[in-house]
Structure 1
Amino acid sequence: MESATKPTMIRRPPTIVCYICGREYGTKSIAIHEPQCLKKWHNENNLLPKELRRPEPKKPEVRTITAKGFYDLDALNEAAWTSAQSTLVPCAVCGRTFLPDRLIVHQRSCKPKVAK
């Protein structure tokens, strides 16, 4: 006779979205990642043509604190994701959005559709 045990759910550790690149990092490693990510962002931004350079991304301020005194991670992550997505640049031909360095590569092969 088999015992009816419930499958145990493995709870994912909390993560925080980087406001610069949009990737998820652990609550301990985000403090290490952000300064390095910002430095990389500056290096890449300085290599772009002047018309594609962007202003430095600003860390979103989320002041929503839960009743227990913790930050609302969902609100923080949503603001960080929105910040990361706002750095994308649309292609003038097709409208898709890219990071500026990737837009240059995309534009080499993106051609307007020919009317038939």
Structure 2
Amino acid sequence: MIRRPPTIVCYICGREYGTKSISIHEPQCLKKWHNENNLLPKELRRPEPKKPEVRTITAKGFYDLDALNEAAWTSAQSQLVPCNVCGRTFLPDRLIVHQRSCKPKASK
């Protein structure tokens, strides 16, 4: 069985990165998040995502990557905004595009 290298989920975008590259990715991702958030209409702007603090350490002294990744995934998912018509969730910039074509269902 081939074992996959460990990955860490970005708490901002929800993507997986290697343990070495996550420290490079996070500052760049946060900067991109700020740039995109500032371009949104005021009613769609969100507070800055906070890095989840997971202090779960295994018996061998390592961080529990599963707990860390779960907390990061939850943080990334909390950034999604629901459509007021259909209820689906989107990143705010994608919600604007979605709302152009989302129409209420015709009542019969």
Q: Name the TM tier (shorter chain).
A: over 0.9
Map residues 1-116 of structure 1 onto 2, 5 A cutoff: 9-116=1-108
TM-score by length of 1: 0.93
Percent identical pairs in the alignment equals 95
Whole-angstrom CA distance in 2 between matches of 1:70 and 1:17: 17
Q: Where does structure 1 differ by over 4 angstroms across 4 or more consecutive aligned residues?
A: none
Cα offset for 1:34?
A: 0.1
Whole-angstrom CA distance in 2 between matches of 1:86 and 1:48: 17
Larger Rg: 1
TM-score by length of 2: 0.99
Whole-angstrom CA distance in 2 between matches of 1:71 and 1:10: 22
Whole-angstrom CA distance in 2 between matches of 1:115 and 1:83: 36
SS in 1 for 2:8: strand
SS in 2 for 1:41: helix
Q: Which runs of 5+ in 2 are unaligned?
A: none
Size of the alignment, in residue pairs? 108
Cα offset for 1:21?
A: 0.1
Q: Which runs of 5+ in 1 are unaligned?
A: 1-8
Cα offset for 1:59?
A: 0.0
Cα offset for 1:108?
A: 0.2
Cα offset for 1:83?
A: 0.2
